[in-house]
Amino acid sequence: MSFSNTVDQAILDHFFSIASWTAPAALWAGYSTTTPTKAGEDVAEPDGGTTGYARIQVATADWTRAASEVDNDSVIEFPVATGAQGTITHAVLYDAETAGNMVWFGALSAPKAIDTGDTPRFPAGDFNITQG
């Protein structure tokens, strides 16, 4: 559960007045069947063209801080899978609907196989962004 190098560097530059940083105006939640790296590599999102997968926009104001983590206030629900998507192991946040920069990633508490007809979702309070 970690912010990406992109965010770490932006915060560091901002903190030391090297460059100004503004947090993304919107975030898109997604998931991966592989373990991402802090460099934003090794993310394997399902193929949207054959499985119905798409990132979901999440409002930056729709989160609550509790101690050292931030949790989603509303359900984050993805489209119904139109094909098998594999076993997801990690949640990811991006600053764009497609491509863009990965800003955060974290392992699921338990991997989840997504099959045709499944509606992947993170219930309110279950998408936990932690310091780390």
- Flag whether pLDDT at 15 surpasses 70: yes
Largest separation between any pair of C-alpha atoms in the chain:
49
Q: What is the pLDDT of residues 54-111, one digit of tens each?
A: 999 998 888 999 888 899 999 999 999 999 999 999 999 999 999 999 999 999 999 9
Determine the pLDDT at residue 122: 96
Across all residues in the chain, what is the average pLDDT? 93
Question: Number of helices (H) and strands (E), helices first, in the chain?
Answer: 2, 10
Q: What is the pTM of this model?
A: 0.91
Determine the pLDDT at residue 1.
64
Give the count of domains, the chain: 1
The domain in which residue 112 lies consists of 2-130
pLDDT digits (tens, 9 = 90+) for 48-67: 999 999 999 998 888 999 88
Tell me the percentage of the chain whose pLDDT exceeds 70.
98
